[in-house]
């Protein structure tokens, strides 16, 4: 299982130290939650902070854009050196072009679905995607309880992926811990985001290892 700790749950007064811990850990990616206070009712961090984080972080970056018009930020995300740019289906009026532009910028393209957005809405784009990110909480805040319906969505997404000949990997974000992680793994998730479970633990790398082994 690939693990992407979410920086949203880190100690922002000690970001440098938190990133050193991530660098020394077995995390596969660092997940960065960008919020604009419009698409979601919260604001996290913007590009001045992200540039510092990107400089210090040795793990590939998985950027999750929770903003309206995420296509406006493609070149800025590329300049961070990000590996993956995730945009919300609900935020993109012209999703096909946005995915093309992410690819042209040299990044892997991920499309994210809110809990109430059906996986069937990806039928005409999934063959173009490197990744689908299913939200297992409403986006905007860490520390919320896992929405169990996500497990059924993974099964539907695997069916859609096979039918459309897509190679998109399945990433899950929200309420991930050892217990929900094991259930997600059993359903076929490929990658888990975890904020509070990883940064709230006394031993960050031990928590990451437990998730890797679910």
Q: Which residues are catalytic?
A: 33, 173
Q: According to CB under 6 A, which one of 87, 195, 204, 208 is a site residue for ligand DX5?
A: 195
Which partner from the list ligand DX5, Zn ion, none does 143 bind, CB cut-off 5 to 8 Å by kind? ligand DX5
The reply on whether position 145 binds ligand DX5 by CB under 6 A is no
User: Per-residue x/- marks for Zn ion, 114-153, CB under 5 A?
Assistant: ----------------------------------------
The number of CA neighbours under 13 Å toward the Cβ of 48 is 0
Q: Could you give the strand order of the β-sheet that contains 61-66, starting from the edge strand earlier in sequence?
A: 2-5, 191-194, 169-173, 131-135, 108-113, 84-88, 61-66, 30-35
The number of CA neighbours under 13 Å toward the Cβ of 166 is 23
The reply on whether position 142 binds ligand DX5 by CB under 6 A is yes
Binding residues for ligand DX5, rule CB under 6 A, total 22
CA distance 150 to 137: 9
Query: Near Zn ion by CB under 5 A, which window of 16-24, 146-154, 161-169, 171-179?
Result: 171-179
CA distance 108 to 118: 22
Q: Look up residue 67 and give its two tokens.
A: 């903003």
Residues forming the site for ligand DX5 (CB under 6 A) = 6, 8-9, 31, 33, 64, 137, 139-144, 173-176, 193-197
Residues forming the site for Zn ion (CB under 5 A) = 33, 64, 173
């Amino acid at each position: 299982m690939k693990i992407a700790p979410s920086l949203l749950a880190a100690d922002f007064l000690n970001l440098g130290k938190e990133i050193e811990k991530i660098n020394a850990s077995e995390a596969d990616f660092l997940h960065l939650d960008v919020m604009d206070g419009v698409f979601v009712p919260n604001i996290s961090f913007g590009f001045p902070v992200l540039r510092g984080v990107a400089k210090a972080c040795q793990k590939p970056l998985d950027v999750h854009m929770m903003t309206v018009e995420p296509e406006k930020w493609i070149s800025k995300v590329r300049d961070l050196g990000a590996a993956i740019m995730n945009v919300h289906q609900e935020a993109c009026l012209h999703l096909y072009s946005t995915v093309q532009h992410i690819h042209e910028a040299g990044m892997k393209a991920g499309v994210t679905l809110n809990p109430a957005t059906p996986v069937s809405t990806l039928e005409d784009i999934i063959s173009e995607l490197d990744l689908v990110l299913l939200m297992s909480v409403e986006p905007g805040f860490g520390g919320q309880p896992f929405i169990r319906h996500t497990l059924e969505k993974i099964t539907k997404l695997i069916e859609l992926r096979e039918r459309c000949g897509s190679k998109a990997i399945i990433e899950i974000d929200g309420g991930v811990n050892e217990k929900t992680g094991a259930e997600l793994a059993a359903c076929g998730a490929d990658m888990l985001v975890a904020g509070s479970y990883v940064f709230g633990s006394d031993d960050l790398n031990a928590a990451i290892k437990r998730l890797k082994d679910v």
